[in-house]
């Protein structure tokens, strides 16, 4: 996280003091670094430059309008998983012809909308979906570009809830069935078989499973190209990032993280390019976390410090409704004080105010002694952070800020409390 560092005692995002932003915009507060987002996108593009390729940012990882606009301006494509995400991309000025539409449950309305907008490809997860897309395209007198998501049955060796490329989960079509499925799809007159896609999981910290999957699938891609004239192969997303010791103290994250498990774009490219280059098809990538994960932090304020016989609870104003990853995936987020604190560390549980015992950000972690009113930053919260937020406990959605050098802008206002129930009404017989 090159762009997150202490200047003196103060944590900064690029040229901006985090404490100053927290005071100005309140907490809990997400802060994103434009420089990190840009660098990650550029580095992956550069590493993959030897092949014709398109980076399709996974919108579900961070869908803020400023993030999407920034990436659209860098020429990014987008990986979308709902009609709503397509609308978001359009609202941000993204190009629908650079969008791939994934997901196991596309509705007719979503398919129709995406077809009318001219998406690059529907990444299809089942034969009934192929039939449905064909039928919608017939009705609209269009030809729908499709790619089938194949399941290579390769273990991504990541967390069970983010493993997608084995036969134990709902995604894609089994590797062995792909030739038959393409054969039948070729007979559906309103489909164009444009590519083939896979995505084996998220937060992969080794290149081996990617390389294994590409190696396994490459001959099939060549066969589909020869038989059906497909023009692209999407190798999905899933590149893992550093979550531990992500904060650069003068050193870039990859340096601090040396020896720790994560993937650099150079390693990724080196492992995959030999097999991909010889295919001669366009390569799509769908990274989400790799681009947005290290680009964001969640800032929260200490409300109380509660010492019990055994425990030191740091009760903060952020909670699982703001950042659910620790509760949902047992995820680790580094937690640092926004103003550096000396002294001994004390094993602490950082917990939110939500009425769930799962509402904690860490347990028994050695942290500096904090006091009421201090700010803490949860690092690497840019992916699957705000986008997974909810209103549980009638807590407002947090505000989001984008930093660019010495500039900062509120890119999502904190949700006003009455807005939480603004769509609700009292049934007439209860009035
Ligand atoms: C979620 C998802 C991605 C992005 O995954 P990351 O781990 O964030 O890179 C890419 N492709 C598909 C189909 C997905 O579902």
| Ligand 1 nearest atom to the CA of residue 58, by list position | 4
Strand-strand pairing, 16-17 and 10-13 = antiparallel
Alpha carbons 340 and 72: distance in angstroms, whole number: 36
pLDDT band (50, 70, 90) for residue 252: very low
Q: Which two tokens stand for residue 355?
A: 């009425």
Domain ranges of the chain: 103-285, 294-414
* CATH code for residues 294-414: 2.40.37.10
99 carries an active-site annotation: no
Tell me the per-residue pLDDT of 175-193, one tens digit each, with 9 for 90 and over: 999 999 999 999 999 999 9
Residue with the nearest Cα to atom 10 of ligand 1? Answer: 237
pLDDT of 255 strictly over 60: no
Structure pTM? 0.95
Amino acid 156: pLDDT: 78
Q: Which CATH architecture has domain 103-285?
A: Alpha-Beta Barrel (3.20)
Amino acid 248: pLDDT: 52
Q: Which two tokens stand for residue 137?
A: 């395209």
Average pLDDT over every residue of 5-19 = 97
Alpha carbons 279 and 69: distance in angstroms, whole number: 32
pLDDT band (50, 70, 90) for residue 162: low
pLDDT of 251 strictly over 80: no
Q: What is the DSSP string of 226-244?
A: HHH---EEE----B----T
Q: How far is CA 108 from CA 97, 133, 136, 139, 182, in A?
A: 20, 8, 7, 11, 21
Place of tokens 């976390």: 289
pLDDT of 228 strictly over 60: yes
Binding site membership of 102 for ligand 1 (Cβ less than 6 Å)? yes
Amino acid 263: pLDDT: 87
* Contact between residue 85 and residue 60 where contact means Cβ atoms under 8 Å apart: yes
Centre of ligand 1 from the C-alpha of residue 156, in Å: 13
Alpha carbons 77 and 57: distance in angstroms, whole number: 6
List beta partners, residue 79.
58, 100
Binding site membership of 165 for ligand 1 (Cβ less than 6 Å)? no
């Amino acid at each position: 996280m090159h762009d997150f560092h202490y200047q003196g005692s103060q944590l900064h995002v690029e040229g901006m003091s985090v404490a100053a932003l927290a005071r100005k915009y309140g907490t809990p507060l997400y802060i994103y670094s434009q420089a990190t987002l840009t660098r990650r996108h550029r580095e992956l593009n550069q590493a993959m430059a030897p092949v014709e390729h398109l980076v399709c940012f996974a919108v579900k990882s961070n869908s803020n309008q400023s993030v999407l606009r920034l990436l659209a301006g860098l020429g990014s494509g987008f990986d979308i998983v709902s009609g709503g995400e397509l609308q978001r991309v359009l609202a941000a000025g993204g190009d629908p012809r650079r969008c791939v539409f994934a997901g196991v449950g596309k509705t007719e309305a979503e398919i129709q909308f995406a077809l009318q907008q001219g998406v690059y490809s529907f990444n299809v997860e089942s034969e009934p979906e192929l039939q449905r897309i064909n039928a919608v395209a017939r009705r609209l007198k269009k030809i729908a570009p499709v790619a089938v998501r194949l399941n290579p049955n390769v273990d991504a060796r990541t967390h069970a809830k983010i493993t997608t490329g084995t036969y134990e989960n709902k995604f894609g079509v089994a590797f062995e069935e792909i030739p038959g499925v393409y054969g039948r799809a070729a007979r559906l007159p309103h489909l164009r078989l444009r590519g083939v896609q896979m995505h084996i999981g998220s937060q992969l910290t080794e290149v081996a499973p990617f390389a294994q999957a590409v190696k396994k699938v490459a001959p099939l891609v060549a066969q589909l190209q020869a038989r059906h004239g497909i023009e692209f192969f999407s190798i999905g997303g899933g590149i893992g990032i550093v979550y531990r010791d992500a904060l650069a103290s003068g050193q870039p994250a990859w340096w601090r993280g040396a020896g720790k498990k994560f993937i650099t774009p150079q390693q990724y490219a080196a492992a995959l390019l030999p097999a991909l280059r010889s295919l001669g098809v366009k390569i799509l990538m769908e990274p989400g976390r790799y681009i947005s994960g290290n680009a964001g932090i969640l800032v929260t304020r200490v409300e109380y410090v509660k010492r019990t016989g055994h425990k030191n609870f740091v009760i903060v104003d952020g909670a699982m409704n703001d950042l659910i990853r620790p509760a949902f995936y047992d995820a680790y987020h580094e937690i640092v004080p926004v103003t550096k604190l000396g002294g001994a560390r004390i094993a602490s549980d950082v917990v939110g105010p939500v009425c769930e015992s799962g509402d904690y950000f860490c347990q028994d972690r050695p942290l500096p002694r904090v006091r009421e009113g201090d700010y803490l930053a949860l690092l690497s919260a840019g992916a699957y952070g705000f986008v997974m937020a909810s209103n549980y406990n009638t807590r407002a959605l947090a505000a989001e800020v984008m930093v660019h050098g010495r500039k900062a802008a509120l890119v999502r206002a904190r949700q006003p409390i009455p807005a939480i129930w603004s769509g609700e009404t009292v049934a007439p017989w209860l009035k």
